[in-house]
Amino acid sequence: MKIENLKPFLDSKFRLYNQHSFIENDPICIPHLFSKKQDIEIMGFFAAIFAWGQRITIINKCKDLIERMDKSPHDFVLHHSTKDLKRLLNFKHRTFNDTDLLYFISFFKYWYSKNDSLEDAFLMNMKSNSVTIETGLNGFKELFFSLNDVPQRTLKHVSSPNQNSACKRINMYLRWMVRCDNNGVDFGLWKKIKPSQLFIPLDVHVQRVALKLNLLEREKSDWKAVIELTKNLRKFDSNDPVKYDFALFGLGIEEKF
């Protein structure tokens, strides 16, 4: 497809897939079960971290976790007892197990005991003139694993650009929390981070479609590929480049492009 035709094409696909009907079968349906900001943040984070494999399995595992936390994630992380934590034992989703879960709960208790929102955890390494969220992603991983009792095995569940990781799940989570429009899929809860600072969540479907459309040359799924693709998408919308995640993902999943 010619480059001059690519923006109208992607814009049309963005409008097609950025619809409320998208929510039901996507992991973003999990934070949509809640209205309290902190519940949305916490379960959105878990849904994004679990976003590996079949979407229905991811959704069911999240619902299992919600039940174990008495359907009140924020209240649970702040006020759980040792007995309450026992209900989390034997939880497992792919390589994420109860050891990892208990550390995540420990971090959230630490963070929400002192802070109102998880957004500030992504801002600690950023400067006021930061063009992108890259340093924020690196700082978040350092902060998230800063508690004394972090299990070594748990480190693999949160990525950062410093590892040259594509950071697909964290970038997807940030899209959910930061992007804001009238369609009601993404939440737009966070106002300190701008949509223009975000990076594309690069999964196999997005990457395949981007390569076919010549939006991406790098075939390795890593941070360099994320930078390349996001840079090209900024040419179509510099204020909201990751809105095209809907177009690329929809083309890959729904249309097998």
Give tens-digit pLDDT for 130-165: 999 999 999 999 999 999 999 999 999 999 999 999
Give strand pairing partners of 92. 97
pTM value?
A: 0.96
Q: Where are the alpha helices (DSSP H) in the chain?
A: 3-17, 37-49, 55-68, 73-79, 82-86, 98-112, 134-144, 168-178, 204-212, 223-234, 244-253
Question: What does the CA dihedral 202, 205, 208, 209 come to, rounded to 10 degrees?
Answer: -100
Over residues 95-110, the pLDDT tens digits come to: 999 999 999 999 999 9
The tokens describing 185, both together, are 């899929």
Contact 116, 74 (CB under 8 A): no
Domain range summary for the chain, segments of one domain joined by +: 3-118+131-253
pLDDT above 80 for 8: yes
With H, G, I as helix, E, B as strand and everything else as coil, classify residue 245: helix
* Whether pLDDT at 76 is above 90: yes
Two structure tokens written together for 46: 């878990």
Other beta carbons less than 10 A from residue 20's beta carbon? 10
Q: Residue 256: which pLDDT band, with cuts at 50, 70 and 90?
A: confident
Q: Which residues pair with 96 in a beta bridge?
A: 93
Q: Give the span between the Cα atoms of 145 and 42, in whole angstroms.
A: 16
Exposure of 229 by Cβ count < 10 A (0-12 exposed, 13-18 middle, 19+ buried)?
buried
Query: Tell me: the pLDDT tens digits for 43-58?
Result: 999 999 999 889 999 9
